[in-house]
């Protein structure tokens, strides 16, 4: 076990005799979600962090070797329930590790404002004071308590409106009719969670679902199922070979590619190529071994085969801006990997972040007729478009928070949002409705919107994660939460 994992913030705060939650639990207890620092303060903190902390904790707070990351699930689960004063005290009293106590309380407080900001807690109108004990009534929560909203902060300079701008795009018409239970499973089977549906050149529909549950580990069932164009079951395969099918791609040879997002120490964390009969032709990555180098993957989300046979994999499901303790404590990968048609590593790009070419959960992949690669950068609430060598072309926000994406022969882009919610915390994307947005991969204009039938921020995810459209324009939405595939037919 790494050293930093064994020292919990709570235990240190107790040893150091700083304010504990018990002391702080007075009627005046506030949440750090209420906007308890200012953006200007976080900016000052950023500069101080850079010169005093980055060499050990990393410029992006990502941690290093045995040094704790200062953001995402590790940090938030460590500090959950502690107070902001505890955090200031921890920084002031023990950091920088080699010269503790060398920073003023004002500087330490500014750095804490920066840490809060980087962990997704909103800025407000008043600075966090640096007097001793300040912040002892402010609790750190990983998710915003219900009803808590930050006071309107002074508007930051809006990001350049990337074709469509940032105002929620919910109002396009819905020219589709809904069909449930179109795919008929074999007798005795029921649908598990699914994020993968695609079609082959014979007009057949391929689905990978998670063995009637949301995980195939230990299941005797086949997760990969083939149906005809009318939804009748044809055959299945894959039992014992796939743990958690997350992405699917069918190439021009009608081979079925699956990105397996989980790992049980024996299999998983790989991309598999099957022929139509379920024979494995290629295994990319090392089965059961998570990694971030040229030979391994960690939680690969999606796979796409370019017309020339080059293979693209979007790798890394962890490390969302705000994650829950249920997620892996490491940040995981955040990259697109390009391999040649034989599976040899060619290049990769991307790292955690929200700048151009950086990702937070590159969740889906699609390619338009011009060969541009669309990456659904889910926790950044945007699609990023690249050339096939990773050169950044554009970022689009108008298709909302992408879980699934697909581009058909006519450059119609289909994007499913299964997560956006109004409640601050994970997937905070106020005003945006979940559902499928349909538009043009050429112009970026959204022309249709199919709202998800569940519109409840208490449900972490709902509606389609995987999306595909058949040649007639019918849309198939593969749903994790509802454990269903819904077909939407143009009216």
Residues that bind ligand HEC (CB under 6 A): 4, 7, 9, 52-53, 55-57, 67-68, 70, 75, 78, 90-91, 94-98, 103, 111
Q: Cβ closer to ligand HEC: 12 or 346?
A: 12
Q: Shortest distance, CB of residue 324 to ligand HEC, whole angstroms? A: 16
| Cβ-proximal residues to 91 (8 Å cutoff; 6+ apart), any chain | 103, 108, 111, 112
CB 63 within 8 A of CB 329: no
Residue in the block written with tokens 């938030």: 76
> H helices of 370-422, where?
none
Q: Cβ closer to ligand HEC: 87 or 183?
A: 87
Cα dihedral 90/96/101/103 (nearest 10): -100
Q: Cβ closer to ligand HEC: 96 or 343?
A: 96
Q: Shortest distance, CB of residue 378 to ligand HEC, whole angstroms? A: 25
Q: Cβ closer to ligand HEC: 24 or 111?
A: 111
Q: Cβ closer to ligand HEC: 111 or 284?
A: 111
Q: Cβ closer to ligand HEC: 95 or 216?
A: 95
Residue nearest to ligand HEC (CB): 53
Q: Shortest distance, CB of residue 95 to ligand HEC, whole angstroms? A: 3
Q: Shortest distance, CB of residue 21 to ligand HEC, whole angstroms? A: 15
Q: Cβ closer to ligand HEC: 60 or 288?
A: 60
Q: Shortest distance, CB of residue 76 to ligand HEC, whole angstroms? A: 9
Q: Shortest distance, CB of residue 60 to ligand HEC, whole angstroms? A: 14
Please say whether the dihedral angle defined by the alpha carbons of residues 162, 119, 122 and 168, taken in this order, is positive or negative: positive
DSSP label at residue 64? B
Q: Cβ closer to ligand HEC: 332 or 463?
A: 332
Q: Shortest distance, CB of residue 138 to ligand HEC, whole angstroms? A: 16
Q: Cβ closer to ligand HEC: 84 or 413?
A: 84
Instruction: Check whether the bond before 96 is cis (ω within 30° of 0).
Output: yes
| CA dist., res. 197 & res. 226, Å (int) | 10
| CA dist., res. 456 & res. 468, Å (int) | 24
Q: Shortest distance, CB of residue 3 to ligand HEC, whole angstroms? A: 6
CB 242 within 8 A of CB 216: yes
Q: Shortest distance, CB of residue 111 to ligand HEC, whole angstroms? A: 5
CB 403 within 8 A of CB 397: no
Q: Shortest distance, CB of residue 51 to ligand HEC, whole angstroms? A: 9
CB 135 within 8 A of CB 37: no
Q: Cβ closer to ligand HEC: 7 or 152?
A: 7
Q: Cβ closer to ligand HEC: 95 or 121?
A: 95
* 202, two tokens: 């014979």
The β-bridge relationship of strands 280-284 and 256-263 is unpaired
| CA dist., res. 220 & res. 242, Å (int) | 11
| CA dist., res. 45 & res. 117, Å (int) | 10
- Taking CB atoms within 8 Å and a gap of at least 24, the contacts of 176-180 are 176/448, 176/450, 176/475, 176/488, 176/489, 176/490, 176/491, 177/488, 177/489, 177/491, 178/486, 178/487, 178/488, 179/486, 179/487, 179/488, 179/489, 180/484, 180/486, 180/487
The angle subtended at Cα 93 by Cα 91 and Cα 94, nearest 5°, is: 70
* 487, two tokens: 């077909």
Q: Cβ closer to ligand HEC: 21 or 239?
A: 21
Report the Cα–Cα distance between both ends of the chain, in Å, rounded.
57
Q: Shortest distance, CB of residue 75 to ligand HEC, whole angstroms? A: 5
Q: Shortest distance, CB of residue 36 to ligand HEC, whole angstroms? A: 17
């Amino acid at each position: 076990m790494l050293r930093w994992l064994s020292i919990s913030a709570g235990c240190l705060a107790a040893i150091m005799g700083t304010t504990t939650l018990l002391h702080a639990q007075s009627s005046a207890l506030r949440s750090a979600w209420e906007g308890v620092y200012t953006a200007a303060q976080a900016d000052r903190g950023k500069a101080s962090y850079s010169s005093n902390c980055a060499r050990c904790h990393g410029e992006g707070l990502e941690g290093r070797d045995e040094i704790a990351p200062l953001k995402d699930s590790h940090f938030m689960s460590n500090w959950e329930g502690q107070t902001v004063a505890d955090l200031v005290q921890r920084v002031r009293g023990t950091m920088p590790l080699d010269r503790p106590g060398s920073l003023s309380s004002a500087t330490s407080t500014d750095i804490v404002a920066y840490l809060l900001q980087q962990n997704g807690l909103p800025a407000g109108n008043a600075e966090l004071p640096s007097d001793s004990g300040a912040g002892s009534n402010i609790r750190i929560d990983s998710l915003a308590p219900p009803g808590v909203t930050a006071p309107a902060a002074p508007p930051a300079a809006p990001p350049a409106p990337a074709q469509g701008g940032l105002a929620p795009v919910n109002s396009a018409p819905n020219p589709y009719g809904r069909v449930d239970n179109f795919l008929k499973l074999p007798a005795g089977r029921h649908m598990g969670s699914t994020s993968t549906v695609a079609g082959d050149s014979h007009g057949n529909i391929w689905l990978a679902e998670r063995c009637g549950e949301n995980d195939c580990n230990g299941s005797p069932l086949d997760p990969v199922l083939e149906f005809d164009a009318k939804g009748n079951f044809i055959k299945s395969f894959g039992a014992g070979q796939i743990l958690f099918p997350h992405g699917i791609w069918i190439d021009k040879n009608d081979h079925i590619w699956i990105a397996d997002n989980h790992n049980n120490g024996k299999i998983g964390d790989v991309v598999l190529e099957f022929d139509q009969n379920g024979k494995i032709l290629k295994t990319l990555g090392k089965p059961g071994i998570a990694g971030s180098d040229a030979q391994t993957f960690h939680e690969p989300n999606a796979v796409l085969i370019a017309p020339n046979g080059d293979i693209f994999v979007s790798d890394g499901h962890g490390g969302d801006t705000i994650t829950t303790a249920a997620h892996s404590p490491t940040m995981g990968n955040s990259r697109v990997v390009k391999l040649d048609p034989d599976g040899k590593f060619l290049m990769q790009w991307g790292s955690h972040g929200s700048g151009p070419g950086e990702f937070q959960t590159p969740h889906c992949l699609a390619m338009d007729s011009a060969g541009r690669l669309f990456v659904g950068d889910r926790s950044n609430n945007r699609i990023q478009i690249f050339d096939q060598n990773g050169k950044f072309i554009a970022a689009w926000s108008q298709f909302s928070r992408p879980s699934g994406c697909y581009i058909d022969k006519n450059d119609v882009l289909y994007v499913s949002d299964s997560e956006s919610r109004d409640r601050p915390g994970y997937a905070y994307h106020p005003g945006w409705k979940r559902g499928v947005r349909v538009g043009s991969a050429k112009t970026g204009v959204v022309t249709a919107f199919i709202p998800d039938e569940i519109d409840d921020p208490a449900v972490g995810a709902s509606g389609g994660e995987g999306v595909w459209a058949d040649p007639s324009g019918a849309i198939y939405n593969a749903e994790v939460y509802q454990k269903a595939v819904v077909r939407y037919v143009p009216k």
